[in-house]
Amino acid sequence: MKVPHAHQEVMLQVAGLDLELEALSSHLAELQTGAHLDALRTNLFAASSRMLEQQTQLENLQQELRKLEADIELVDKRIELDKQRLSSTSSSKDAEGISSELRSLTARKSNLEDQELEIMEKVEQVAALVEAESETRTSLSIELADAEAALAGDITKLASKISIVKTDRAAKFSILTEEAAALFTKKASRGIPVAALKGRDCDACRIGLTSSAYEDVIATPADEIATCPNCQAILVR
């Protein structure tokens, strides 16, 4: 089959562009999965989960603290009331009963205040954990957002590159005659359609030609198609 040598060079260029498109498309598909961001997403989810648990613990402690404060307030009111009763009673029996109750209330208040102090310390500790985890989560959120923005930019650039290469490929392919284009397409469906002859080696299968095969290829007129006897790729000399 006769194909001008210049068109054979074009076929070689188109084959090169097809390989480039395959590599670019594979890279684009890989980027679009966002798999390399999974570690960041996992860390962010873990930080969010920890912070939620700590916030729940903090809220429970704060609720417990409010209950203790309310109990202490009730005891204070009862103590104040008993003191008033004690100062106004003239009965020694009543005074003894009130005094006994005051001692119990004082002990109760002391116990509640000890519990309050313990809970306040826990609140402070857990609040610090929540704050630290919140800072970690914010940092990870920013890092993930930056990574996602960078990924979107890379995808846009790569998609643009693919579009440019496709346009270049279409322009070069349109130069070929109908017969040459059909031959290229047929061979491309089976493997690498066109390759350069480098020394005695086919650049498609990377297998060296025998002496007789090499002589046949070299003897083929420049405007006629020569093929690799091993992989059937068109050899451009």
Residue limits of CATH 1.10.287.1490 in the chain:
32-173
User: What confidence score (pLDDT) does residue 212 get?
Assistant: 95
Residue 235's region, left for phi above 0, alpha for psi from -120 to 50, else beta, is: beta
In this prediction, residue 93 carries a pLDDT of 86
User: Which residue's structure tokens are 């498309």?
Assistant: 25
- Picking from 57, 68, 177, the residue whose alpha carbon sits closest to that of residue 129 is 57
Rounded to whole angstroms, the Cα distance separating 17 from 166 reads 8
Looking at residue 203, what is its pLDDT? 96
Whole-prediction pTM: 0.71
Contacts of 105 (CB under 8 A, 6+ apart): 75, 78, 79, 82
| Separation of alpha carbons 69 and 59, rounded Å | 15
Mean pLDDT by 10 residues, the chain (237 residues): 94 97 97 93 96 97 97 96 88 88 95 97 97 96 96 97 98 96 96 96 96 95 96 96
Domain spanning 32-173: CATH 3.80.30.20: no
Q: Which of helix, strand or coil describes residue 3? A: coil
Q: Give one DSSP letter per residue of 98-132, joined into a string.
A: HHHHHHHHHHHHHHHHHHHHHHHHHHHHHHHHHHH
